[in-house]
Amino acid sequence: MIYVATITESIEAAKEVLDRGELVAIPTETVYGLAGNALDVDAVLKIFDTKKRPAFDPLIVHTHTLKKVEELVRTIPLAARQLAEAFWPGPLTLLLPKSELIPDLVTSGLDTVAIRIPKHPMTLELLAILDYPLAAPSANPFGYISPTTAEHVNQQLGGEIELILNGGEAEIGIESTIIGFEDGNPVVYRLGGYAIEEIERVAGPVKVFPHSSSNPQAPGMLKSHYAPRKPFYLMERGQLAQDQSVSTGYLLFDRYLPDVAESDQLLLSPTGDMQEAARNLFSYLRRLDQLSYAKIFAEEVPEIGLGRAINDRLRRAAAH
Protein backbone atom coordinates (compact mmCIF):
# COMPACT_ATOMS: atom_id res chain seq x y z
CA MET A 1 0.00 0.00 0.00
CA ILE A 2 1.23 3.50 -0.84
CA TYR A 3 0.79 6.02 1.97
CA VAL A 4 0.30 9.56 0.79
CA ALA A 5 -0.27 11.56 3.99
CA THR A 6 2.30 14.21 4.83
CA ILE A 7 3.91 13.59 8.22
CA THR A 8 5.04 16.89 9.69
CA GLU A 9 5.76 18.77 12.90
CA SER A 10 4.34 21.98 11.45
CA ILE A 11 1.45 23.22 13.55
CA GLU A 12 0.70 25.93 11.00
CA ALA A 13 0.40 23.32 8.26
CA ALA A 14 -2.09 21.39 10.41
CA LYS A 15 -4.11 24.57 11.01
CA GLU A 16 -4.26 25.29 7.27
CA VAL A 17 -5.69 21.84 6.53
CA LEU A 18 -8.21 22.03 9.38
CA ASP A 19 -9.31 25.53 8.35
CA ARG A 20 -10.24 24.09 4.94
CA GLY A 21 -12.59 21.64 6.62
CA GLU A 22 -10.29 18.65 6.12
CA LEU A 23 -8.98 16.15 8.66
CA VAL A 24 -5.63 15.95 10.42
CA ALA A 25 -4.25 13.23 12.67
CA ILE A 26 -3.05 14.81 15.92
CA PRO A 27 -0.89 13.50 18.77
CA THR A 28 -2.21 13.33 22.31
CA GLU A 29 -0.79 11.83 25.47
CA THR A 30 -3.25 8.91 25.11
CA VAL A 31 -3.36 7.89 21.42
CA TYR A 32 -3.37 9.73 18.08
CA GLY A 33 -6.70 11.32 17.15
CA LEU A 34 -8.41 11.88 13.80
CA ALA A 35 -9.33 15.54 14.13
CA GLY A 36 -11.70 17.90 12.39
CA ASN A 37 -13.57 21.10 13.22
CA ALA A 38 -16.12 20.02 15.84
CA LEU A 39 -18.48 22.86 14.88
CA ASP A 40 -18.49 21.99 11.16
CA VAL A 41 -20.97 19.20 10.37
CA ASP A 42 -19.28 18.43 7.05
CA ALA A 43 -15.91 17.96 8.77
CA VAL A 44 -17.50 15.76 11.43
CA LEU A 45 -19.15 13.64 8.71
CA LYS A 46 -15.70 13.13 7.19
CA ILE A 47 -14.48 11.74 10.52
CA PHE A 48 -17.26 9.15 10.63
CA ASP A 49 -16.77 8.29 6.97
CA THR A 50 -12.98 7.99 7.12
CA LYS A 51 -13.07 5.76 10.20
CA LYS A 52 -16.15 3.83 9.01
CA ARG A 53 -17.49 4.64 12.47
CA PRO A 54 -21.21 4.15 13.17
CA ALA A 55 -23.07 7.40 13.71
CA PHE A 56 -24.48 6.17 17.02
CA ASP A 57 -20.99 6.22 18.61
CA PRO A 58 -20.34 9.82 19.80
CA LEU A 59 -17.06 11.72 19.43
CA ILE A 60 -14.83 13.46 21.99
CA VAL A 61 -14.34 17.21 21.64
CA HIS A 62 -10.90 18.67 22.42
CA THR A 63 -10.09 22.22 23.45
CA HIS A 64 -7.31 23.93 25.39
CA THR A 65 -8.71 25.86 28.39
CA LEU A 66 -11.48 25.50 30.93
CA LYS A 67 -12.84 28.85 29.75
CA LYS A 68 -13.27 27.38 26.26
CA VAL A 69 -15.01 24.35 27.74
CA GLU A 70 -17.48 26.70 29.46
CA GLU A 71 -18.40 28.12 26.04
CA LEU A 72 -19.26 24.65 24.71
CA VAL A 73 -21.42 23.37 27.57
CA ARG A 74 -24.49 24.64 29.41
CA THR A 75 -23.17 23.98 32.87
CA ILE A 76 -20.28 22.35 34.74
CA PRO A 77 -21.37 20.62 37.95
CA LEU A 78 -19.22 21.17 41.04
CA ALA A 79 -17.88 17.60 40.97
CA ALA A 80 -16.95 18.00 37.29
CA ARG A 81 -15.14 21.27 37.97
CA GLN A 82 -13.17 19.67 40.78
CA LEU A 83 -12.10 16.84 38.48
CA ALA A 84 -11.24 19.26 35.67
CA GLU A 85 -9.09 21.39 37.96
CA ALA A 86 -7.32 18.30 39.28
CA PHE A 87 -6.74 16.41 36.04
CA TRP A 88 -6.74 18.81 33.07
CA PRO A 89 -4.74 18.92 30.88
CA GLY A 90 -4.68 15.14 30.91
CA PRO A 91 -6.36 11.84 29.97
CA LEU A 92 -9.76 12.69 31.46
CA THR A 93 -12.94 13.21 29.42
CA LEU A 94 -16.05 14.67 31.07
CA LEU A 95 -19.63 14.20 29.87
CA LEU A 96 -21.34 17.57 30.24
CA PRO A 97 -24.63 19.11 29.02
CA LYS A 98 -23.82 20.43 25.55
CA SER A 99 -24.50 23.96 24.33
CA GLU A 100 -26.23 24.73 21.04
CA LEU A 101 -22.80 25.26 19.47
CA ILE A 102 -22.12 21.53 19.41
CA PRO A 103 -23.78 19.75 16.45
CA ASP A 104 -25.99 16.80 17.33
CA LEU A 105 -23.89 14.65 14.99
CA VAL A 106 -20.91 15.01 17.34
CA THR A 107 -22.88 13.67 20.29
CA SER A 108 -24.91 11.11 18.30
CA GLY A 109 -28.04 12.96 19.36
CA LEU A 110 -27.24 12.84 23.08
CA ASP A 111 -27.73 15.91 25.25
CA THR A 112 -24.23 15.58 26.68
CA VAL A 113 -20.90 16.19 24.99
CA ALA A 114 -17.70 14.31 25.78
CA ILE A 115 -14.99 16.93 26.20
CA ARG A 116 -11.41 17.11 27.38
CA ILE A 117 -8.21 19.15 27.42
CA PRO A 118 -5.34 16.96 26.13
CA LYS A 119 -1.88 17.20 27.64
CA HIS A 120 0.30 16.95 24.53
CA PRO A 121 2.11 20.33 24.08
CA MET A 122 1.94 20.25 20.27
CA THR A 123 -1.81 19.70 20.19
CA LEU A 124 -2.40 22.29 22.93
CA GLU A 125 -0.49 24.79 20.81
CA LEU A 126 -2.60 23.87 17.78
CA LEU A 127 -5.86 24.21 19.71
CA ALA A 128 -4.78 27.62 20.99
CA ILE A 129 -4.51 29.06 17.46
CA LEU A 130 -7.76 27.57 16.14
CA ASP A 131 -11.10 29.40 16.27
CA TYR A 132 -12.94 26.13 17.00
CA PRO A 133 -12.56 22.97 19.06
CA LEU A 134 -11.61 19.66 17.48
CA ALA A 135 -13.65 16.49 17.38
CA ALA A 136 -11.09 13.70 17.50
CA PRO A 137 -11.71 9.97 18.00
CA SER A 138 -8.72 7.65 17.67
CA ALA A 139 -7.08 7.79 14.23
CA ASN A 140 -7.74 4.22 13.15
CA PRO A 141 -10.36 2.27 11.21
CA PHE A 142 -13.32 1.71 13.51
CA GLY A 143 -12.86 -1.21 15.91
CA TYR A 144 -9.16 -1.74 15.16
CA ILE A 145 -6.14 -1.19 17.43
CA SER A 146 -5.65 2.47 18.38
CA PRO A 147 -2.50 4.20 17.02
CA THR A 148 0.23 5.42 19.34
CA THR A 149 2.67 6.77 16.71
CA ALA A 150 2.39 8.82 13.52
CA GLU A 151 3.52 5.80 11.52
CA HIS A 152 0.68 3.70 12.92
CA VAL A 153 -1.75 6.31 11.59
CA ASN A 154 0.02 6.37 8.24
CA GLN A 155 -0.23 2.58 7.90
CA GLN A 156 -3.99 2.69 8.49
CA LEU A 157 -5.27 6.02 7.15
CA GLY A 158 -2.36 7.49 5.20
CA GLY A 159 -4.18 7.07 1.91
CA GLU A 160 -7.31 8.82 3.17
CA ILE A 161 -6.11 11.92 5.03
CA GLU A 162 -3.86 14.76 3.99
CA LEU A 163 -1.66 15.36 7.01
CA ILE A 164 -0.39 13.71 10.20
CA LEU A 165 1.01 15.96 12.92
CA ASN A 166 3.95 14.04 14.34
CA GLY A 167 4.29 14.41 18.09
CA GLY A 168 6.28 11.26 18.80
CA GLU A 169 5.08 8.18 20.63
CA ALA A 170 2.04 8.60 22.87
CA GLU A 171 3.11 8.88 26.49
CA ILE A 172 0.21 6.92 28.05
CA GLY A 173 -0.87 4.63 25.22
CA ILE A 174 -4.52 3.99 26.15
CA GLU A 175 -7.51 6.31 25.73
CA SER A 176 -8.81 8.77 28.31
CA THR A 177 -10.96 7.92 31.30
CA ILE A 178 -14.55 9.07 30.63
CA ILE A 179 -16.65 10.32 33.54
CA GLY A 180 -20.29 11.37 33.51
CA PHE A 181 -22.57 12.40 36.34
CA GLU A 182 -25.75 10.88 37.78
CA ASP A 183 -27.49 13.10 40.34
CA GLY A 184 -24.23 15.03 40.59
CA ASN A 185 -22.20 11.91 41.40
CA PRO A 186 -19.30 10.84 39.13
CA VAL A 187 -19.75 7.67 37.07
CA VAL A 188 -16.88 6.14 35.09
CA TYR A 189 -18.21 5.26 31.63
CA ARG A 190 -14.84 4.19 30.24
CA LEU A 191 -11.71 3.11 32.07
CA GLY A 192 -8.64 4.88 30.75
CA GLY A 193 -5.49 6.88 31.33
CA TYR A 194 -6.24 7.79 34.95
CA ALA A 195 -6.53 4.92 37.40
CA ILE A 196 -9.74 4.70 39.44
CA GLU A 197 -7.64 5.18 42.58
CA GLU A 198 -6.48 8.58 41.28
CA ILE A 199 -10.02 9.64 40.45
CA GLU A 200 -11.34 8.57 43.85
CA ARG A 201 -8.71 10.60 45.69
CA VAL A 202 -10.45 13.69 44.28
CA ALA A 203 -14.05 12.56 43.78
CA GLY A 204 -14.53 9.93 46.46
CA PRO A 205 -15.97 6.49 45.62
CA VAL A 206 -17.17 6.27 42.01
CA LYS A 207 -19.44 3.86 40.16
CA VAL A 208 -17.82 2.11 37.20
CA PHE A 209 -20.30 1.61 34.37
CA PRO A 210 -20.02 -1.62 32.33
CA HIS A 211 -19.49 -1.11 28.59
CA SER A 212 -22.47 -1.56 26.32
CA SER A 213 -22.86 -3.34 22.99
CA SER A 214 -25.03 -0.75 21.25
CA ASN A 215 -26.28 2.81 21.61
CA PRO A 216 -23.38 3.87 23.84
CA GLN A 217 -23.86 6.73 26.28
CA ALA A 218 -20.27 7.86 25.78
CA PRO A 219 -17.47 7.32 23.22
CA GLY A 220 -15.62 4.02 23.31
CA MET A 221 -18.28 1.99 25.12
CA LEU A 222 -18.91 -0.66 22.48
CA LYS A 223 -18.41 -4.23 23.67
CA SER A 224 -16.14 -5.27 20.79
CA HIS A 225 -13.35 -2.79 20.11
CA TYR A 226 -9.56 -2.32 19.83
CA ALA A 227 -9.31 -5.71 18.07
CA PRO A 228 -6.53 -7.09 15.87
CA ARG A 229 -7.48 -8.65 12.54
CA LYS A 230 -6.35 -12.12 13.57
CA PRO A 231 -8.23 -14.40 15.97
CA PHE A 232 -7.53 -13.04 19.44
CA TYR A 233 -8.16 -14.87 22.70
CA LEU A 234 -7.69 -14.29 26.43
CA MET A 235 -6.11 -16.91 28.66
CA GLU A 236 -5.40 -17.38 32.33
CA ARG A 237 -2.16 -15.84 33.55
CA GLY A 238 0.73 -18.23 32.92
CA GLN A 239 -1.43 -20.61 30.87
CA LEU A 240 -0.34 -22.13 27.56
CA ALA A 241 -2.75 -22.10 24.61
CA GLN A 242 -4.31 -25.58 24.35
CA ASP A 243 -4.24 -25.75 20.55
CA GLN A 244 -0.62 -25.79 19.38
CA SER A 245 -1.42 -26.91 15.81
CA VAL A 246 -0.96 -23.41 14.36
CA SER A 247 1.58 -20.69 15.01
CA THR A 248 0.64 -18.56 18.00
CA GLY A 249 1.88 -15.24 19.32
CA TYR A 250 1.59 -14.36 23.00
CA LEU A 251 1.04 -11.00 24.70
CA LEU A 252 2.03 -11.34 28.36
CA PHE A 253 2.40 -9.03 31.33
CA ASP A 254 5.80 -9.48 32.98
CA ARG A 255 7.11 -13.04 32.58
CA TYR A 256 7.64 -15.52 29.76
CA LEU A 257 5.89 -18.87 29.43
CA PRO A 258 8.50 -21.60 29.94
CA ASP A 259 7.42 -23.93 27.13
CA VAL A 260 7.20 -21.34 24.34
CA ALA A 261 9.99 -19.74 22.34
CA GLU A 262 10.67 -16.27 23.75
CA SER A 263 10.65 -14.92 20.18
CA ASP A 264 6.91 -15.73 20.08
CA GLN A 265 6.20 -13.77 23.26
CA LEU A 266 5.98 -10.05 23.97
CA LEU A 267 6.10 -8.77 27.55
CA LEU A 268 4.17 -5.59 28.23
CA SER A 269 6.52 -4.79 31.11
CA PRO A 270 9.31 -7.13 32.25
CA THR A 271 9.51 -5.15 35.52
CA GLY A 272 5.76 -5.24 36.16
CA ASP A 273 5.35 -1.48 35.66
CA MET A 274 1.69 -0.80 34.84
CA GLN A 275 2.42 2.54 33.12
CA GLU A 276 4.91 0.81 30.81
CA ALA A 277 2.40 -1.95 30.15
CA ALA A 278 -0.29 0.57 29.17
CA ARG A 279 2.15 2.45 26.93
CA ASN A 280 3.10 -0.75 25.10
CA LEU A 281 -0.35 -2.36 24.85
CA PHE A 282 -1.59 -1.16 21.45
CA SER A 283 1.87 -1.10 19.88
CA TYR A 284 2.54 -4.72 20.85
CA LEU A 285 -0.94 -5.86 19.78
CA ARG A 286 -0.28 -4.26 16.41
CA ARG A 287 3.12 -5.93 16.12
CA LEU A 288 1.68 -9.39 16.79
CA ASP A 289 -1.11 -8.73 14.30
CA GLN A 290 1.42 -7.86 11.59
CA LEU A 291 3.56 -10.98 12.12
CA SER A 292 2.82 -14.37 10.59
CA TYR A 293 0.93 -15.89 13.53
CA ALA A 294 -2.38 -17.59 12.84
CA LYS A 295 -3.77 -16.47 16.19
CA ILE A 296 -2.88 -14.38 19.21
CA PHE A 297 -3.30 -15.18 22.91
CA ALA A 298 -3.06 -12.60 25.68
CA GLU A 299 -3.19 -12.78 29.45
CA GLU A 300 -4.89 -10.23 31.64
CA VAL A 301 -2.77 -8.10 33.97
CA PRO A 302 -3.33 -7.52 37.71
CA GLU A 303 -6.45 -5.40 38.39
CA ILE A 304 -4.55 -2.54 40.01
CA GLY A 305 -3.97 1.02 38.80
CA LEU A 306 -4.09 1.18 35.00
CA GLY A 307 -4.43 -2.61 34.97
CA ARG A 308 -8.23 -2.28 34.98
CA ALA A 309 -8.12 -0.15 31.83
CA ILE A 310 -5.64 -2.52 30.14
CA ASN A 311 -7.87 -5.51 30.90
CA ASP A 312 -10.90 -3.59 29.62
CA ARG A 313 -9.15 -3.17 26.25
CA LEU A 314 -8.03 -6.81 26.15
CA ARG A 315 -11.52 -8.11 26.94
CA ARG A 316 -13.09 -5.98 24.26
CA ALA A 317 -10.43 -6.95 21.71
CA ALA A 318 -11.38 -10.58 22.40
CA ALA A 319 -15.16 -9.98 22.53
CA HIS A 320 -15.82 -10.97 18.91
Angle at 172 between CA 166 and CA 173, to 5 degrees: 70
Angle at 277 between CA 248 and CA 281, to 5 degrees: 50
Residue type, 300: E
For residues 177 and 119, the answer to whether their CB atoms sit within 8 Å is no
**Coil/strand/helix, residue 315:** helix
Which has the closest alpha carbon to 305: 136, 177, 215, 218? 177
Give the contacts of 226 (CB within 8 A, at least 6 positions apart). 143, 144, 145, 146, 282, 285, 313, 316, 317
Residue 24 C-alpha from the chain's centroid: 16
Binding-site residues for L-threonine: 30, 62, 116, 136, 176
**DSSP secondary structure, 255-308, as one string:** S--TTS-GGGEEES-TT--HHHHHHHHHHHHHHHHHSS-SEEEEEPPPSSTTHH
Binding-site residues: 30, 53, 62, 112, 116, 136, 138, 146, 176, 190, 226
Binding-site residues for ATP: 53, 112, 138, 146, 190, 226
